[in-house]
Amino acid sequence: MPTKVHVTAKINGDEVEFLCEPRQSLLECLRDILNLTGTKEGCNDGNCGACSVLLNGRLVNSCLVLGVEIDGQEVTTVEGLAGARELHPLQQVFLEHAALQCGICTPGFLVAAKALLDRYPHPSEEQIRFWLAGNLCRCTGYDKIVRAVMDAAKKLSQRTGEVHP
């Protein structure tokens, strides 16, 4: 029986230590060991994007990462998006645009959209649709989600004083 492995990582800016079995996915470690249950399990095979997190700033499906792989790495989950007093602009626009119904896919969409806006602050609609193609939603429909991300891009660039093209 393999013994548990000691993992040290930075999650949402905090140094975190935990013990896990090598077979446990990052998703399981986040939810079941670290009680970060914002990240959701959908398909558990890399198709639906509900478990999306950022690993060293890169969008990944946490169901396809082993918990032991994040030793020494940085992870951002949906819990890391909001500030101390206010929601992240993406979270705010998802509410305003009613870009969610059941909400299971929402954390994944928020993290994927953050990955997009971190890299491309002024994405085209087509770019948004491609960046969110790995996230499935079975109730809201994609249009409201895409509009919300476009609005967030606008608000974020206004906040930083940039002109939205």
Chain contacts with other proteins (rule: CB under 8 A): 1-2, 5, 21-25, 44-47, 49, 52, 55, 58-61, 63-66, 68-69, 112, 115-116, 130-131, 133-135
- To the nearest whole angstrom, how small is the minimum distance from the Cβ of residue 123 to other proteins? 12
13, 42, 83, 91, 94 from 46: Cα distances, Å = 25, 9, 29, 24, 24
Q: Are the CB atoms for 53 and 30 separated by under 8 Å?
A: yes
- To the nearest whole angstrom, how small is the minimum distance from the Cβ of residue 79 to other proteins? 18
40, 41, 82 from 85: Cα distances, Å = 24, 27, 8
Alpha helices (H) in 65-105, listed in sequence order: 89-96
Nearer to other proteins, 98 or 133 (CB): 133
Nearer to other proteins, 10 or 134 (CB): 134
Tokens of 96: 């305003």
Instruction: Quote the Cα angle for 65-110-28, to 5°.
Output: 30
Nearer to other proteins, 44 or 92 (CB): 44
- Residue carrying the six token digits 């994927």: 112
Nearer to other proteins, 6 or 164 (CB): 6
Q: Cβ neighbours of residue 37 under 8 Å, at least 6 residues apart? A: 30, 31
- To the nearest whole angstrom, how small is the minimum distance from the Cβ of residue 85 to other proteins? 30
- To the nearest whole angstrom, how small is the minimum distance from the Cβ of residue 2 to other proteins? 5
Nearer to other proteins, 43 or 98 (CB): 43
- To the nearest whole angstrom, how small is the minimum distance from the Cβ of residue 122 to other proteins? 17
